[in-house]
Amino acid sequence: MPALLEFEEAAMFSAEIQCMFLVTGATGGLGRRIVRQLREQNLPVRAFVRLNARYSELEQRGAEIFVGNLLNDRDIEKACRGVRVVISAHGANATGEGDAQSIDYRANIELIDQAKAQGAEHFVFTSVLGADRGYEDAPVFKAKREVEKYLQQQADGLGYTILRPSGFASNLLPLAERFRQTGIYLLIGEPQNRTSIVSTDDLARIAVASASLDAARNRVFNIGGPEALSRDQIPKIFGRIFNREPIIINPPLLLFDGLRGAVGLVSPSVSESLGTLRALLANEYLVTPAEVALLETTFGFQPESLEHFLRRCLGI
Ligand SMILES: NC(=O)c1ccc[n+]([C@@H]2O[C@H](COP(=O)([O-])OP(=O)(O)OC[C@H]3O[C@@H](n4cnc5c(N)ncnc54)[C@H](OP(=O)(O)O)[C@@H]3O)[C@@H](O)[C@H]2O)c1
């Protein structure tokens, strides 16, 4: 190969490494969408996945697959090599090993340390709306808040964007499929509690753009969709989409608390982790119109409604 060509290839390779994105939780509801959007923009991305996860779609889209486990510090160190931007989109889930302490807290602290040690420029952290409300009984909320504080202390070198989203619209897709078949919607707790459910695709778009926008550097964004929906509006939206009258089953939160107490007798750790779900069921998760307007001006697009997201994803 002529020397000039070799040089050009090496330069291209190093430029690619220079702007490499690392996405953790790349097989999750959010992470998968972030990888898709990065690849649609032809940006190089390393997807941190577990061996047992379903990652072939990411590979087919041209992501570099890094097989590892976030419980393992050595994997985190290796995954961060040559990375310019880290987007943390992982979280402890029912299928995986690890809990709020090890996955939502410790793995993020390790990622931040490694990103910094290896010269990354920007860290996008997926927190949660309400992380700053001080819910004592909700381990994930506490972990998110502590990671936020740690990240904000890394003043030298590593820029950050903290995203605090409300509930993801993609969580509702399996519920919509069940509704399509049965007409049933299970609504635990107060039907009038409101939430600004966010399109998971919009959130992915914001996560990707945060890495390159000055207006997003060292900022915290509360992120939600354009509507404040009471929880009983969700089955009504399903009803409209599938042209079917919803059957709403609405057990009170007290029933959840009773079951959680019973679980606690057998497994205190499971009961503890259910505290996060209780905080989600018992409270409102709203963004203000001013916060939605700030998202629109900063990121340059109008967020889609829940109904639009569902119809688009379900092809209806
Ligand atoms: N869902 C919501 O409504 C919501 C709302 C606000 C904030 N958030 C936050 O947004 C983030 C993404 O949420 P999501 O709903 O997209 O999560 P998700 O679908 O549950 O995905 C979690 C991801 O983390 C990965 N993961 C878990 N343990 C791991 C480990 N030990 N090693 C490597 N990877 C591991 C999972 O891998 P596997 O595929 O192998 O399991 C999966 O890719 C989380 O931080 C969550 O707390 C979510």
pLDDT digits (tens, 9 = 90+) for 37-65: 999 999 999 999 999 999 999 999 999 99
pLDDT of residue 18: 56
Task: Quote the CA–CA distance of 246 and 43 in Å, as a whole number.
Answer: 43
Task: Quote the CA–CA distance of 56 and 66 in Å, as a whole number.
Answer: 12
Residue with tokens 């009038």: 192
Cα of 62 vs centre of ligand 1, distance in Å, is: 21
To the nearest 10°, report the CA torsion of 228, 37, 108, 287.
-10
Residue 14 has pLDDT above 70, yes or no: no
Residue 2 has pLDDT above 80, yes or no: no
Which ligand 1 atom lies nearest to the CA of residue 93?
20
Taking only the tens place, the pLDDT of each residue in 249-301 is: 999 999 999 999 998 988 988 888 899 999 999 999 999 999 999 999 999 99
Residue 17 has pLDDT above 60, yes or no: no
Overall average pLDDT of the 219-235 stretch: 97
pLDDT of residue 96: 66
Task: Quote the CA–CA distance of 93 and 78 in Å, as a whole number.
Answer: 23
Overall average pLDDT of the 64-73 stretch: 98
Of the two residues 166 and 94, the one the predictor is more confident about is: 166
Cα of 93 vs centre of ligand 1, distance in Å, is: 6
HSE-up of residue 65 (Cα within 13 Å, Cβ side): 16
Of the two residues 2 and 200, the one the predictor is more confident about is: 200
Cα of 245 vs centre of ligand 1, distance in Å, is: 33
Of the two residues 159 and 17, the one the predictor is more confident about is: 159
DSSP character for 100?
Answer: I
pTM: 0.94
pLDDT of residue 237: 98
Cα of 212 vs centre of ligand 1, distance in Å, is: 23
Of the two residues 83 and 6, the one the predictor is more confident about is: 83
For ligand 1, mutation pick of 37, 78, 90, 309 (most atoms within 8 Å of CB): 90
Burial of 192 (0-12, 13-18, 19+ CB in 10 A): exposed
Task: Identify the residue whose C-alpha is closest to ligand 1 atom 38.
Answer: 53
Cα of 241 vs centre of ligand 1, distance in Å, is: 28
Task: Quote the CA–CA distance of 116 and 131 in Å, as a whole number.
Answer: 24
Pocket lined around ligand 1, Cβ cut-off 6 Å: 25-31, 50, 53, 69-71, 89-93, 95-98, 103, 126, 128, 140, 165, 167-168, 171
Separation in Å, CA 6 to CA 1, 10, 18, 43: 7, 6, 18, 22
